[in-house]
Structure 1
Amino acid sequence: MRAEGVSRETQRRLDAFQALVQKWSPRINLVSRGDLDHLRDRHIADSIQVADAGPRSVDHWVDLGSGGGFPGIVVSIMRPDVSRMTLVESDARKTAFLRTCVRDLELRDVSIVNKRIENLQPMVADVISARAVAHLTALLQLASPHLIPDGVALFPKGANWKDEIEAARRDWDFDFDAIPSTTSPTASILSVRNIRHAPK
Structure 2
Amino acid sequence: MNRRDVENFLANEVGVSRETLERLDLFEQLLGRWNRAINLVGPSTLDSIWERHFADSAQLWLLRPEVITSWLDLGSGGGFPGLVIAAIAAELNPTLQVTLVESDSRKCAFLLAAAREMSVNATVLNKRIESIPAGPHEVISARALAPLSKLLDMTERFAPFSPRLLFPKGANALSELTEARKSWNIDARLMPSRVDPRGQILEISRFSRVQHA
**Is 1:192 aligned to residue 204 of structure 2?**
yes
> Where do residues 107-146 of structure 1 align in structure 2 (5 Å cutoff)?
107-108=120-121, 110-146=122-158
| Count of residue correspondences | 199
Cα deviations by residue, 1:22-56 (Å, 9 ceiling, x for unpaired): 11112110011111111111111100111222123
Call closer, same or farther: CA 1:25–1:60 in 2, change over 3 Å.
same
Report the RMSD for the aligned CA atoms in angstroms: 1.3
Partners of 2:126 and 2:115 lie apart in 1 by 14
User: 1:171 is matched with which residue: 183, 186, 189?
Assistant: 183
Q: Sequence identity of aligned pairs in percent?
A: 41
Unaligned runs of 5+ in 2: none
Q: Secondary structure at the match of 1:175?
A: strand
Provide the residue aligned with 1:181 in structure 2. 193
TM norm structure 1 = 0.95
**How far apart are residue 111 of structure 1 and its match?**
0.7
Contact 2:136 2:163 in 1 (8 A): no
**How far apart are residue 166 of structure 1 and its match?**
0.7
**Amino acid paired to 2:105:** A
TM norm structure 2 = 0.89
User: 1:93 is matched with which residue: 96, 100, 106?
Assistant: 106
Provide the residue aligned with 2:167 in structure 1. 155
User: 1:60 is matched with which residue: 56, 62, 70?
Assistant: 70
Q: Secondary structure at the match of 1:122?
A: coil
Contact 1:89 1:112 in 2 (8 A): yes
Contact 1:86 1:113 in 2 (8 A): yes
Contact 2:137 2:161 in 1 (8 A): no
Unaligned runs of 5+ in 1: none
Structure with a larger share of its residues in strand: 1
Contact 1:125 1:148 in 2 (8 A): no
Structure 1 stretches of 4+ moved >6 Å: none
